[in-house]
Each structure stands twice: as C-alpha cells, then as structure tokens.
Amino acid sequence: MTPFWLDHLMVVVLTVFFPIRAATFGYRRLVLAPAEHVADMRRALYFQAIALQWALTALGLAIWLIGGRSAMALGLEPREPRNVLWGLLGAAVIAAAFWFVRTRVRRDPEALERVLQKLGHIERMLPRSMEEKRIFHFVALTAGVCEELLYRGYLIWYLSRWIDVVPAVIVSSVIFGIGHSYQGVKGIITTTLVGGVMALIYLTAGSLWPAMAVHAIIDMHAGELAYAALNRPIPATPDPEPSPASG
C-alpha cells in the first residue's frame, strides 16, 4: 500500500491548504466583520466548514479506493470488534459526564462567566441562538467524523509509511493543532494534545469509530457550554442611591 501522487497531493491539502484557509479566510474574516454582519457570517462559516470537511473526506475516500486499500487500514473496519464496543461505551460515559457538568454549570453564574473567559478568544465563532446551536451540532458531528478520518486514519497511515507509528502520531497531532492556529498559541497546544488523545483512542480500539464519537461529543459539549454562557442571565445593576443634595 505505497502512497502515490494523489496521496501526496491530499497530504499537502491537509497540512498546508487547510490550516492556511482556516487561519486567513475563515475565522479572520469573522473577527474583522462589522458587528451587524457577524451573525450571518458565523452561520455561513458553519456551513462552509461542514461542506469543506465532507468534500475533503469524500476526496480522501476516493483516493483510498483508487489505491485499492482496505477499510481496516483506514480504521473504518474494526480489527477487534470488542475493543470498539468498549471504546463506544467509554464515549457514552464521557457524554454522560459532560451532561452532568453542563447541568451544574448552567446553574452557576460564576461558572458560566469562567466558561466565557476561557472561550473569549473565539467568542465570535460560538453559537448564540438556538438555530446556531443546532447548526453547530452538525459542525461538531462533521468534525468528529471527518477530522478523525483525515488526520488520524489517513494522515497517520501516510506518515507511518516513512516513520514509526509513535512519531507519526506526534507529527499528525502537531499538524492537527496548527490547523487550529486561529485559536492562538493556547488553542494550538490544546488541539495538539486532543489530537494525541484521539490517536491513542484510535490505536487502542483499532478503529476510528470511538475516536469519532469522543471528538464529536467534546465539540458538542463546548458548543452547549458556550451557548449557555453567552445567554446567561445578566444581573441587573442597582440604581444609585440618590444623594442628599438631590432630595
């Protein structure tokens, strides 16, 4: 299963084009947009992200089929079904834990304020209305499926043709982190670490499906928390006491 020229082109898209596009034509446009256009542009970026990632995934799958490779080599067919079931069970546990966290955070104005502070660097990208939150769920599901297939399944396979699997995981995770450079240095570090964790889940389960589920759950959780924080009740500021002179 030696990579050929279409594989090289695909990897250039994943490692060069995609990060540059995200940093310059994506979030940057949202940051520079006038306030009255932000909501429309945010929804447009949601739909663009969904369309672009599914298009890249379709292209990657087409190249994979042209190369005559197996679904197992890409991580779509489990090597050990029992490990996949354990992985999906773990994803369900994570989803339940996140639901518990959100339930508590929504009741705590100070916790919501802390959430907003942590997400302040990407505030304009976060969902503010119920409609945006529903679209964001599709963005999260898309990222879970497509980014795992492309950056864990495809890219780790490609890199492991030239280097051992551990360095391949490290390199693919760094590339994944750089692809989120619009989130700043902290965002790059965080997403690099997340990429490493997703790769560990993938390699341990022998399948991409648990990693896809966990990735989508994490992104949906972030969207739900962001929506709650952005729509938190703002305590009313008490009217100033009248001064004796004004009485």
pLDDT digits (tens, 9 = 90+) for 141-181: 999 999 999 999 999 999 999 999 999 999 999 999 988 88
Quick one: which of 118, 97, 117, 130 has its CA closest to 224? 130
Q: CB neighbours (10 Å) of residue 201?
A: 23
Q: What is the mean pLDDT of residues 124-149?
A: 96
Share of the chain above pLDDT 90, in %: 76
Instruction: Please give the model's pTM, rounded to 2 decimal places.
Output: 0.91
Quick one: which of 60, 46, 65, 76 has its CA closest to 14? 60
Contact 208, 148 (CB under 8 A): yes
| pLDDT (0 to 100) of residue 27 | 76
| pLDDT (0 to 100) of residue 19 | 80
CA atoms of 131 and 118, how far apart (whole Å): 23
Structure tokens at 112: 């919501």
Q: What is the mean pLDDT of residues 210-234?
A: 93
C-alpha 40: how far from chain center: 21
| pLDDT (0 to 100) of residue 247 | 47
Quick one: which of 226, 241, 233 has its CA closest to 122? 226
Q: What is the mean pLDDT of residues 211-230?
A: 96
Whether residue 137 has pLDDT greater than 90: yes
